[in-house]
Amino acid sequence: MQFSTIRIALDAVADYWTALIFRELFMGAEQWSELEAALEVPPSTLNKRLKELVALGCLERRAAPGRKESRYVLTEMGRDLFPFQMAAREWQLTWDRRPGVFVTPWVHQCGAPLRCSSLCSQCHQLIENGDVRLEESSVVLVPYQAPPPRHRRGAGATARDARAKSSSYPKVMAVIGNRRSSMVMSAILRGQVRFDEIVRQTGLPTATVSEQLKQLQLSNLVHSRLYQRRPDRYEYQASEAGIDLVGLALQLISWANRWLADRGAGATRAIHTDCGRAMHSRLVCSTCREAVTLDTCHLDSLGATARTSA
């Protein structure tokens, strides 16, 4: 049986602490002490996530001459997750403008504060909300099994980003920081809008799907519509903010198809409905339309100093 590349990618990077660790690595952190100070992450959690990223191939652990601490250096695979991180940042700038939520101060090489757009690799047109259909090839989803006791846990209520000026939990983390929430949202975005369809698509227990749907509605990412009475049954539709998460999914799919396809996974295809062709999404600067990569972006003069959204 096969999992899709997007499912494997969600297992790898759809986690609160993993997303924040990548943020710090992209900002220049290389050592344990730098990561721990910026994130206030429990040492055992940081150790586990770093080991997982090294095993996956996103990081290399290297000795630091003259120092006891090792360096954690991004590989090409790890650096290639930068567009996914910037797509998440763009969503945050658009849909989560609460005071106190930290936004990394990236600037594109053209000199403009970084804002991102997605382009179709086939027709080179901007991808708008609702312009994409996701398909999976040769995929058979296996039933979800309860994780063993030492399985990774998501961030709890005490999780804190030391760069944020408030305890506000970034709304984008409600999805990319929670693997199960990501799976439910992904199913809805692929047109599985009824409860039984979502359960079948994700393989998650019914109680888990029910809880994740409640959380997605509280985050205003999903709306429900009653389509049957006695018994009451609902359809779940993505809100405008929820649909805009497709931009994140496209970047993760491109990364997963590039780096995970040789691990026995079925590929996930994105079809641009405007041109009707399978494509990968190119993340570009909204000002100059040039590529957004770690090599084409830099931190502004504030560097690693915290900056909050307006």
Q: Can you tell me which residue has the tokens 């100059």?
A: 288
Asked if omega into 105 is within 30° of 0 (cis), the reply is no
175 vs 14: CA distance, rounded Å? 8
* Residue of 5, 4, 68, 8 whose CA lies nearest to 32: 68
Number of CB atoms found within 10 A of residue 93's CB: 18
Cα separation, 249 vs 270, in Å, equals 10
Q: How far apart are CA 257 and CA 135, in angstroms?
A: 13
Q: Are 193 and 24 in contact (CB under 8 A)?
A: no
Would you say 5 and 266 are in contact if contact means Cβ atoms under 8 Å apart?
Answer: yes
Q: Domains in the chain, start-ordered, CATH in brackets?
A: 5-12+81-142+162-299 (1.10.10.10)
Cβ proximity of 288 and 116 under 8 Å? no
Q: Which residues pair with 238 in a beta bridge?
A: 222
| Ranges of the chain whose pLDDT falls below 50 | 1-2, 138-158, 303-310
* Of 135, 81, 140, nearest in space to 268 by CA: 135
CA nearest neighbour of 258 among 83, 120, 132: 83
Half-sphere exposure of 180 (CA within 13 A, CB side): 22
Cβ atoms < 10 Å from Cβ of 124: 12
> What secondary structure letter does DSSP report for 127?
P
- Contact between 172 and 96 (Cβ < 8 Å): yes
Residue 295: is it exposed, middle or buried by C-beta count within 10 angstroms (0-12/13-18/19+)?
exposed
Question: What pLDDT score was predicted for residue 309?
Answer: 36
Dihedrals phi, psi of 157, to nearest 5 degrees:
-65, -20
Per-residue pLDDT, 288: 97
User: Residue 172 burial by CB count (10 A; 0-12/13-18/19+): exposed, middle or buried?
Assistant: buried
Record the tokens describing residue 240, joined without a space: 């405008």
Helix runs in the chain, H state only: 5-13, 16-26, 32-39, 43-56, 76-79, 82-95, 173-176, 179-189, 195-202, 206-218, 240-243, 246-259
- The rounded distance, in Å, linking the Cα atoms of 34 and 9 is 26
Nearest to 245 by CA among 310, 173, 169: 173
Q: Cβ(26)–Cβ(296) under 8 Å? A: no
